[in-house]
Amino acid sequence: MDDSISVTQVDVAIVGAGPIGLCFANALSRHGVSSVLIDRQSRSAMVEPASDGREIALTRAAQQILDKLGVWSRVEPAERARMRAAKVFDGQSLFAMEIAPGASRNEPLGCLVPNQVIRRAAYAALPAGSMDAGEILWRDEQQIKRFEANDAEVDITLAGGERLQASLLVAADSRFSTTRRAMGIPAHTYQHGQHMLVCRMHHEEPHDQTAWEWFGYGQTLALLPVDTHCSSLVLTLSPAEMEKQLSLSDEDFDADITRRFGGRLGAMRRVAAPHRYPLVSVYAERFVGHRQALIGDAAVGMHPVTAHGFNLGLQGLSRLADLIGEARARGQDIASPTLLARYQREQRLATAPLFAATLAIVGLYTDDRTPARWLRKAVLRAGEVAWPARRLIASHLTRSIG
């Protein structure tokens, strides 16, 4: 690399300024660790992000992490939808397994917040100026052209020609991460052969602050409570069926969704534009490399059926930031092999079982063969009878950190 070009020194270079990347820079700053955020978007697009239709189900632990970072206080109470419980249905059966906290009906199972609101709050919560040494630099509308890791640092060249040097390079640029590929880290990618549609629906009957997960034949449906008579719809179909769905008139779309839910919440009406996403799950073979690490969806891109992707991402960035902060306080290398190995080990233990279980659930509930149909009915019945299993799921959703 050309040594005549001036070089900007920083502790951590973060690729991807989505909510995970923003929260990671925030967490590092609170430990006195400087960072630079590199993103193809302009900062103006992050100040007021456009709606992408997605609602994020936040566990109590996730809310506590956001609170520590000053993000949660920037989410208006009106944007927080309380989720009292969840029900799991199989086809048109009237039977449903209910998952609730159990200890108190006033204790919510989780909280739903629009993704765009979290993005906006995460940007607004970034510390202004430097906090001790924890300055946050920006390189928006930029991307990495190349990088090289040596024993002391990672030497980075941006597409615009600027050079950066960092102790650690972190990829937070989605489950389709180009940075992960450039790091030479393979990932197990699962193409589920379906597309997901999300949009808000008004319905005549109230939902009692209860989320619905509905495994039908040839489709998966979910309703996430937003307001008394409003829910966020999640519909998964094959790409061909999704094309037909999106070609429907507004009136036919509303009637079709009402039919898909068996009219159980009365007539339903779309109140926001739909958004469509391909369903892909990703699990990286490694979460770290030489002075390199993956966080968020770049490490683990979850199927949305268990609604834990963002929560796991928050836990991971908090874990890595704390390890880096401890190393900095001791005057140690913030990207040592020992530190990165510990992060990888702890984050794998936190994510691998849930990722495997999610794939198993998706496999079972998207298999329309007769044996699979009988098996999932048996699983729902067993889960309803075996209250410890339901309590275990509920405690995972509502547990606190610390």
Are 22 and 48 within one domain? yes
In a domain, 16, yes or no: yes
Question: Residue 91: what pLDDT?
Answer: 53
Both 223 and 343 in a single domain?
no
158 and 50 in a common domain: yes
How far is it, in rounded angstroms, from Cα 15 to Cα 293? 11
* Structure confidence at residue 221 (pLDDT): 85
The residues with which 207 forms a beta bridge, in sequence order, are none
List pLDDT tens digits, range 62-108.
999 999 999 999 999 999 999 888 777 665 554 455 666 654 456 67
pLDDT digits over 129-173, tens only?
555 568 999 999 999 999 999 999 999 999 999 999 999 999 999
Domain membership of residue 39 (yes or no) is: yes
Tell me, what's the pLDDT at 86? 79
Q: Which of 33, 166, 51 lies closest to 118 in space, CA to CA? A: 51
Q: Residue 356's pLDDT is what? A: 85
* Residue 216, pLDDT score: 61
Write down the pLDDT at residue 84.
Answer: 85
Instruction: Give me the pLDDT at residue 388, please.
Output: 40
User: Alpha-carbon distance 307 to 59, whole Å?
Assistant: 10
**Whole-angstrom distance, CA of residue 156 vs CA of residue 139:** 12
DSSP single-letter state for residue 66: H
> Are 182 and 210 within one domain?
no
311 CB-side CA count, 13 A: 29
- Find, among 230, 14, 279, 280, the residue nearest to 122 by Cα: 14
pLDDT of residue 340: 98
Residue 124 tokens, joined: 């607004």
CATH of the domain at 252: 3.30.9.10
pLDDT at 214 (0 to 100): 72
Look up the domain containing 91 and give its range. Answer: 81-112+192-279+379-398
pLDDT score of 226: 92
Query: Within the chain, which residues score under 50 in pLDDT?
Result: 1, 94-95, 103-104, 371-372, 374-376, 378-402
Q: Which of the 8 DSSP states describes residue 127?
A: P
Looking at the structure, tell me whether residues 175 and 59 fall in a common domain. yes
Do residues 246 and 274 make contact, with C-beta atoms less than 8 angstroms apart? yes
pLDDT at 110: 83
